[in-house]
Amino acid sequence: TTLAAQAPGPVGGPDIDELESIIVTATRLPIRAFVVPAMAYSESAADIQSLYQSRTLPEALGEVPGVLVQKTANGQGSPFIRGFTGFRNVLLIDGIRLNNSVFRDGPNQYWNTVDTFAASRIEVLKGPASVLYGSDAIGGAVNVLSDIPASARPGFSPRALYRYSNAESSDTVRGDLTYVDERLRATGGYTYKSYGDVEGGGSVGVQPRTGYDEQAANVRVEYDLTSRSTLLLGYQYVNQDDAWRTHRTIYGNGWNGTTIGTDRELSFDQQRQLGYVQLRQADPGPFADKMIASASYQSQGEDQHRIRSNLRSDELGFDVYTTGLWVQFDKQWGRTRLMYGADYYGDDVTSYNVEYNADGSIRRVHAQGPVADDATYDLTGLFLQAIVQATPKVALTL
């Protein structure tokens, strides 16, 4: 149903077999996976939740062939795509950019702020994607899509899930509700995860300070304004509490000679919210056959707590507020399918770093990381793509 206004002809979702064979991220257009002119891979919600039982987005990406994930600790994880990680891969939710000006070039924990239970499928585009997605998309692009299931039946469809993992004494509770009628499709859910401490095999034993708690919620509403236009509203919220970077603390495990850290505490709290509205229109005018317009507002925050070996401590973090706007048009001219559009993202950043002496007095106050306090960052892009059907068996993408 997300592809409704992109599909040829009047708005109306493709059937479920068709949906599972369509890749959107590689060309920003619905293209069947077999003929996508790129190395692209798609994971369905059924695979993520039932087959792989991935609890986090980095764990799900670790199941993608050719993608390596560095999972520094529970609550953290960053994929390597074509050898690149950090801000050199772009992360999208329903086409909306999550990367912002505080993403660093090394492995980071921000990919873990996406709840896989809010995803219908995850698309991974391997290789450069900067032509269509701009800055950062050097190694690849990951798009987490939250389509309402095409198989959803009319009326209310509730679902509840409980999962327990003995290896970490962890609990996952998920409840969601979907409603479908002739013009309205809506779904929403709440996820609670409590990760216990990791228990290694053999003599490794329990690894203390490796558990954390997470709460997440999501809502998606689609309403057919007319037979050819659909309004989409979405909201996502994730909050993680006390996710430790254990290996850098005295609670680390010296396995096979690895060095144990010296910090007495190094933990993170992370929060992320995203709200967006999208209009999908068929036949918006002579300049296009289809149009998608999107407006979003999101916030991301991080608070880090660190106590050093000499009992000096740090309290540091940031908050980023991002306004996003993008529009794309799709037009078929004879044998050429033209897609073009523009996007804009603006960040407002507050950051802080307070260093304390061992007696609790303030030692120094300064900004955190490479982005100063009260900073702004703007990113604007224009993109154009033409797919020319040169012969019945040869298509050229420019």
pLDDT tens digits, 363-391: 999 888 777 889 999 999 999 999 999 99
DSSP conformation letters of 352-363? EEEEE-TTS-EE
> Does residue 10 have a pLDDT over 80?
no
pTM confidence score: 0.90
Q: State yes or no: pLDDT of 9 exceeds 50.
A: no
pLDDT category, 12, cuts 50, 70, 90? very low
Are 49 and 322 contacting, i.e. CB atoms less than 8 angstroms apart? no
Is the pLDDT at 15 greater than 80, yes or no?
A: no
Q: Which of 296, 343, 350, 348 is nearest to 318 (CA)?
A: 350
Question: Over 210-257, what HEC string results?
Answer: CCEEEEEEEEEEEEEEECCEEEEEEEEEEEEEEEECHHHECCCCCHHH
DSSP H or E segment with residue 57:
helix 57-61
**285-320 per-position pLDDT tens digit:** 999 999 999 999 999 999 999 999 999 999 999 999
Chain-centroid distance of CA 78 in Å reads 11
pLDDT digits (tens, 9 = 90+) for 62-119: 999 999 999 888 888 999 999 999 899 999 999 999 999 988 888 888 999 999 999 9
Strands 140-145 and 89-93: parallel
Q: Assign residue 101 a region: left if phi > 0, alpha if psi is -120 to 50, beta otherwise? A: alpha
pLDDT band at 20 (very low <50, low <70, confident <90, very high): low
Of the chain, the percentage scoring pLDDT greater than 70 comes to 95
